[in-house]
Amino acid sequence: MLQGQTIVIPPPALLSRAMEQQAIPFKGSIAAPQQQSVRWVGSLQKALNLGVLGADLTYLVNYGQTPQIPACFASIGALSHDLDLMQDVDSSIVVAIENGMEDPVQLLGLHSEFFRSMENYLKKNQRGDISAGILIGGWVESLYLIASLSDSTTTLDPLLAEQRYSAQGVLQLAKDIQDSTMIEILGDLEPLCEAFADLEHSYSFRDPMHDRREHITYLRSQSKVEFDIDQIEQLHALIRQTRQRIITP
């Protein structure tokens, strides 16, 4: 929860499992150009792209792309220093990632701990706009990775459509940021979130589960997002457009 908004971003483990189950090949070209990190200016643009690179780092780790990880993390570190976010980050985490650890499970853990340390620092210092920027950038990049890996041979689009439940919270976070950079991005982000809102969703109720020992009855339901090919193609196009707006210096 951030600034009263509950945001659900596709977690690295879920994205990794979905790709592994379908044996989707690695696409190195879809990660953001890391050399652009020195060209991003302004605190919010740097925060947005810090979120983008964080999602890319997870993607690289999931696919065991050990040679590319240090360069990606170096860009993350540069943006973090520019934003003055490293005070609460354990230096041993940085050293371990920079040394190119080969265990993907351990790397994912370090990656999560690194960003969690920064998030704690931001909350403690009431830098909500920077937190929101990192989250929004990571959310858009997660969508972009899913869309880029999705085709007729995969079933990643339902995972993408489920972000309908996060879109309005992300949009509200963006609207609360008073910054010229975000005003420009909203020109693309708002249509994207509206396209998510247009997806139909349904709930089906299942038989309740009774816990006789505790004398508790649990009500159970299942939600489902409905979509057609035209809606998915529109989402893919809007995701690419929004992501390009974020990463362009």
In contact, 55 and 142? CB cutoff 8 Å: yes
**Cβ–Cβ < 8 Å for 157, 226:** no
Distance of CA 85 to the CA centre of its chain: 19
pTM here is: 0.84
Q: Give the pLDDT of the chain (249 residues) as one tens digit per residue.
A: 555 555 666 565 566 667 767 788 888 889 888 777 778 889 999 999 999 998 898 888 888 888 888 888 889 889 988 998 877 677 777 777 666 556 666 776 776 777 777 777 677 777 888 888 998 998 999 899 999 988 766 678 888 898 898 898 899 989 999 999 999 999 999 999 999 999 987 655 556 666 566 556 555 545 678 889 999 999 999 999 999 999 998
Least Cα distance to 69 among 98, 28, 105 occurs for: 98
